[in-house]
Amino acid sequence: MLPKLLAPAGNMDKLIMAVEYGADEIYFAGKSMGMRAGGKNFSQKELEEGIEYCHKHGRKSNITVNIVPHNDDLIGIEEYLKYLQKIGADALIVADPGLIDIVKQTVPDMRIHLSTQANTTNYHTANFWYRQGVNRIVLARELTFKEIEEIVKKSPKDLEFETFVHGAMCISYSGRCLLSSFMTGRFSNKGDCAQACRWKYNIVEEKRPGEYYPIEENDEGTFIMNSKDMCMVEHLDRFKEIGIKALKIEGRNKSEYYTAIAVRSYRNALDELEKPREERNTVYWKEELEKSSHRDFSYGFFFGNPYKDGQLYNTSSSYIRTYDVVGIIRSYDKGTKTALIEQRNKFSEGDLLECFGPKGRHFEVIAKNMQDEAGNKIDSAPHPQQMIKIEMNEEVEPYFILRKKVD
């Protein structure tokens, strides 16, 4: 059986994109208790709509309540948990042992997924959490395939394991960081990380203010804590072999385009595991992931400690961006072979675009016969979320995406 594919959703648009592009489970948060306070997250009404949308399409909804709470954070928690159960949440992602105890007492039938924030790195710890009622463990990111295989073998058969396979890595152990709170007063473990590890640093001697010394030979400073992004799309068969039940994509604060590209690539690569190796398109899916905004890729800790290969020592934390999403297909008229597109970035008549949907490879499109929604001829689409029409001979469906290579 193939592992389940988990996708992030920072808002309803990203949730819809994750579902449409093939995620089995979506993880998202309400306005409190989630580890991505910087994102808009979901109001109560949106939580209900999101869960309903998942269920309508046969997908699971995993709600994050995985901050490391202080006393004040627990005020009203029982009512919130009961509400999540009432609206149909399939599982809760939890990190704190006290909060797990509250979940077991308040909503005893709710599935509990242990967050990577709990730092599970060995089978004794896995067995401990199983005895506390945990159904699935999101393993620490600092584990090798060999270590994970031993954990799975020495744990109960009905205990599920989940691992991150794609997205940003953290310099601190599975995200348990105090640097942000120390430097900015923003608490990483309560979902408000300032990403101080991505900043540029120099040394200043106390009696020589204003004289900055680079920590290494680089006149722009140093980036000793700046981790590469993880990308494991080439090694999904290994996760299947060792019994991992779920594979997780990071990125609730990233764009709809990122969500679509990441889910599409991993969905197709996973499905292709049932084909002979020579018929798989792994190289293509890796190339597609490189077309989303990302840092340099690494394999994380799966093949051992990456040491310097896991860090970006001589560059800033700026993302690599080679393509812009320029529009999302909203409808297609087969008779006139015309697509209605909601604009995301400017493009013009004659531009070479790439179009893709959930399945199969992308194809090229020349932007031609551009019209506004009223049918008036236009030369470009400069206005955000402008509705336009272009001629497209290839049949497309809603949520297909148009992108343009960045000059």
CATH number at residue 42: 3.20.20.380
Q: Which of 393, 396, 300 is nearest to 357 (CA)?
A: 396
Tell me which of 263, 284, 310 is where a domain ends.
Answer: 310
Backbone angles phi, psi at 16, to 5 degrees: -60, -45
Instruction: Please tell me whether residues 236 and 346 are part of one structural domain.
Output: no
Give residues with Cβ within 8 angstroms of 254, minimum separation 6: 8, 10, 293
Judge whether residue 256 has pLDDT over 90.
yes
Instruction: Please tell me whether residues 86 and 160 are part of one structural domain.
Output: yes
Q: Parallel, antiparallel, or unpaired for β 111-114 and 160-167?
A: unpaired
Question: Stretch 14-21: mean pLDDT, rounded?
Answer: 97
Instruction: Please tell me whether residues 305 and 368 are part of one structural domain.
Output: no
Residue 273, in any domain of the structure:
yes
Instruction: Please tell me whether residues 367 and 294 are part of one structural domain.
Output: no
Instruction: Give me the residues paired with residue 365 across strands.
Output: 353
pLDDT at 217: 42
Instruction: Tell me the C-alpha distance between 262 and 247, whole Å.
Output: 12
pLDDT at 219: 47
Residue 179, in any domain of the structure:
no
Which one-letter DSSP state was computed for residue 227? Answer: B
Instruction: Give me the residues paired with residue 167 across strands.
Output: 230
Q: Of 23-37, 185-199, 234-248, 340-354, which range is least confident?
A: 185-199
Residue 70, in any domain of the structure:
yes
Tell me which of 266, 287, 310 is where a domain ends.
Answer: 310
Residue 158, in any domain of the structure:
yes
Residue 218, in any domain of the structure:
no
Q: What angle do CA 281, 283, 287 make, to 5 degrees?
A: 115
Tell me which of 246, 276, 310 is where a domain ends.
Answer: 310
Residue 316, in any domain of the structure:
no
Which one-letter DSSP state was computed for residue 320? Answer: B
pLDDT at 393: 94
Q: Which residue in this structure is represented by tokens 């297609």?
A: 332
Q: With cut-offs at 50, 70 and 90, classify the pLDDT of residue 4.
A: very high
> For residues 116 and 6, is the Cβ–Cβ distance under 8 A?
no
Instruction: Please tell me whether residues 233 and 302 are part of one structural domain.
Output: yes
Residue 36, in any domain of the structure:
yes
Residue 198, in any domain of the structure:
no
pLDDT at 162: 98
Question: Stretch 184-199: mean pLDDT, rounded?
Answer: 62
pTM of the full structure = 0.86
Judge whether residue 147 has pLDDT over 90.
yes
pLDDT at 87: 98
- 181 φψ region: left (φ > 0), alpha (ψ -120 to 50), beta (else): alpha
Q: Which of 143, 210, 141 is nearest to 169 (CA)?
A: 141
Q: State the sign of the Cα–Cα–Cα–Cα dihedral 359, 365, 367, 370.
A: negative
Structure tokens at 141: 């990111």
Question: Stretch 349-359: mean pLDDT, rounded?
Answer: 97
Q: Which of 99, 141, 109, 113 is nearest to 25 (CA)?
A: 113
pLDDT averaged over the chain?
A: 88
Q: With cut-offs at 50, 70 and 90, classify the pLDDT of residue 336.
A: very high
Instruction: Please tell me whether residues 271 and 376 are part of one structural domain.
Output: no
Instruction: Please tell me whether residues 262 and 332 are part of one structural domain.
Output: no
Structure tokens at 55: 């269920």
Residue 301 CA to its chain's centroid (Å): 18
Instruction: Please tell me whether residues 20 and 75 are part of one structural domain.
Output: yes
Instruction: Please tell me whether residues 123 and 159 are part of one structural domain.
Output: yes
Instruction: Tell me the C-alpha distance between 41 and 258, whole Å.
Output: 17
3-class DSSP string for 78-114 = HHHHHHHHHCCCCEEEECCHHHHHHHHHHCCCCEEEE
Q: Where in the sequence is the domain holding 362, given as residue range(s)?
A: 323-405
> For residues 225 and 216, is the Cβ–Cβ distance under 8 A?
no
Judge whether residue 315 has pLDDT over 90.
no
Domain tally for the chain? 2
Instruction: Please tell me whether residues 259 and 328 are part of one structural domain.
Output: no
Instruction: Please tell me whether residues 269 and 394 are part of one structural domain.
Output: no
Instruction: Please tell me whether residues 369 and 290 are part of one structural domain.
Output: no
Instruction: Tell me the C-alpha distance between 154 and 134, whole Å.
Output: 16
Question: Stretch 57-76: mean pLDDT, rounded?
Answer: 94
